[in-house]
Amino acid sequence: MAPVISFQDVSKVFGSGAGAVRAVDGVTLDIEAGEIFGVIGYSGAGKSTLVRLVNALETVTSGRLLVDGQDVTALGEGRLRRVRAGIGMVFQQFNLLNSRTVAGNVAYPLKVAGWPRERRAARVAELLDYVGIADKAKAYPRQLSGGQKQRVGIARALATSPRILLADEATSALDPDTTQDVLALLRRVNRELGVTVVVITHEMDVIRSIAHRVAVMEAGKVVEHGPVYDVFAAPRERATRRFVATTLKDRPTPEALDRLRHRHPGRIVTVAIRENGAGSGVDVTAALRAHGVDGTIVFGGITELDERPFGSLTLELTGSDAAISALIADLRGRTDVDDLGTAAVAGVRA
Ligand SMILES: Nc1ncnc2c1ncn2[C@@H]1O[C@H](COP(=O)(O)OP(=O)(O)OP(=O)(O)O)[C@@H](O)[C@H]1O
Ligand SMILES: [Mg+2]
């Protein structure tokens, strides 16, 4: 199937000369119809710019960008408007019209699209029911909680039945429970309505909760992308590792490592736990036994990602140097092992 969004060596440069900012830098990426695609990155990475190119709120500086098979970099304003009509967008600050009721906000895009009044009313009722705030139709935005406001934002974005929904930090202003409720709604929109959802976030937990595939952005570039499990269970880039650390806190910080070294004089290693790797804590135990090495678990965290094991264990190894080296080599054949060395000979982080 053809991708619904295809970035082909896309760059976006703001300004020129010495002050030029390469907000998006040579991105090549396909987003498939029907998936939930996550884009994660720190502030300034270029995430918002990337999605704003999709609905042509910003123009591409170089490269090709296909949306629904149409090259938006080559379309005139009339055709662009048609492409935009197939794209809904939700925002961190909700962007609701405060002078209009909830129903008025949701009706707005229908009015712009020229729907007659009676059809508008029926569609608005249907949408408010779908997002679970039918009882708030006559309320004003200031009378709503953040979660309710975002439901209005989602209803408004879905009004004209778009095929693509872009969510830029849609849950960043919400508390953790409300975040999960809104993510559950986005998941329903994806599954029941077949809408392709692109979620922009700086929160690893958002990606973990709903995305099928993810791209990690840093300084305008996509530094890593693929299925969420593959990217986060075996991160290759430092930025990706940092995001994993925020969700799991499974690896000792440098300060925690110093404390561990005071308590544990032996060789300290961190073993990534993942499917098809060392697999589980049990496999690590078996490897220790096979090599005649003793291991004490001193730090760690294991959870599930995509219903598969994900995390790491940090162990203090004691035994002969040769046996420990053989054990590490053995484990490295199956998963990532960071050799943190001993207090006397600090190893190099892999
Ligand atoms: N209209 C603009 N004019 C000039 N520079 C811009 C403009 N929009 C964005 N930038 C710059 O482009 C870079 C990427 O910005 P962008 O908003 O895409 O990042 P982001 O990943 O969405 O960050 P955040 O997580 O803070 O929202 C930043 O350096 C930003 O200052
Ligand atoms: Mg942004």
The residue assigned the tokens 């010495």 is 18
> Does ligand 1 have an atom closer than 6 angstroms to the CB of 44?
yes
Neighbours of ion ligand 2 (CB under 5 A): 48
pLDDT of residue 348: 46
**Shortest-distance ligand to the CA of residue 61:** 1
> Does ligand 1 have an atom closer than 6 angstroms to the CB of 52?
no
- Rg (C-alpha) for the chain, rounded Å, is 24
For helices 102-112 and 146-158, angle between their N-to-C axes, nearest 10 degrees = 20
pLDDT of residue 347: 54
| Tens-place pLDDT, residues 58-113 | 999 999 999 999 999 988 888 888 888 899 999 999 999 999 999 999 999 999 98
pLDDT of residue 338: 92
CATH architecture of 5-245: 3-Layer(aba) Sandwich (3.40)
pLDDT of residue 350: 40
Q: What angle do CA 59, 60, 66 make, to 5 degrees?
A: 105
> Does ligand 1 have an atom closer than 6 angstroms to the CB of 164?
no
Dist CA 201 CA 35 (whole Å) = 16
The list of the chain residues with pLDDT below 50 reads: 348-350
Dist CA 166 CA 36 (whole Å) = 10
Dist CA 8 CA 115 (whole Å) = 36
Superfamily classification of domain 249-339: ACT domain (3.30.70.260)
pTM score, whole prediction:
0.89
* Residue identifier of the C-alpha nearest atom 18 of ligand 1: 46
Q: Do domains 5-245 and 249-339 have the same CATH topology?
A: no
The domain spans of the chain are: 5-245, 249-339
> Does ligand 1 have an atom closer than 6 angstroms to the CB of 49?
yes
pLDDT of residue 277: 63
pLDDT of residue 282: 63
